[in-house]
Amino acid sequence: MPAPNLFLIYVRDAEAAAAFYSGLLEIKPAFTSPAYVAFEVAPGVLFALWSRHGEHAVPAAPRTCEVGLMVPRSGSSVDEVYARWAARGVHVVEEPHDDVFGRTFMIADPDGNLIRVSPVD
């Protein structure tokens, strides 16, 4: 059976969200349209932004999932990412702290989608 290869989040404005994620993750979209933007994050694996259902992408809506970014090396690399992102003025949900899986922090994108940074398992 194939593994999941498309990770999609709802946003209010795909182009604005693409600018946010391009700057944050330092990657360029592989595909862009007015309502859908996709980033190839690994060969054959897409992280996509879709504004077709943007009415659900309001910051106040409760979130039950997170976008994860696992960084190699040590817990200090998590702190380095936090310092870079905090300097960009991102909305911090959880400051860096140690958890059961190591050093971590969480931010929210402008639409309220949660992004967690942690070390590689």
pLDDT in tens, 54-76: 677 777 788 889 999 999 977 68
The CB-based long-range contact list for 17-26 (8 Å cut-off, 24+ gap) reads 17/49, 17/51, 17/109, 17/110, 17/111, 18/49, 20/109, 20/110, 21/47, 21/49, 21/109, 23/88, 24/85, 24/88, 24/90, 24/115, 25/69
Q: Is 1-54 in CATH node 1.10.3720.10?
A: no
Same fold, 1-54 and 65-121: yes
Note if the pTM is more than 0.85.
yes
Interval 27-33 mean pLDDT: 97
Q: Where are the domains of the chain?
A: 1-54, 65-121
pLDDT band at 93; cut points 50, 70, 90: very high
The predicted pLDDT at position 118 comes to 95
Interval 75-81 mean pLDDT: 90
Fold of the domain built from segment(s) 65-121: 3.30.720
pLDDT digits (tens, 9 = 90+) for 34-60: 999 999 999 999 999 999 876 777 777
**pLDDT of residue 85 exceeding 80:** yes
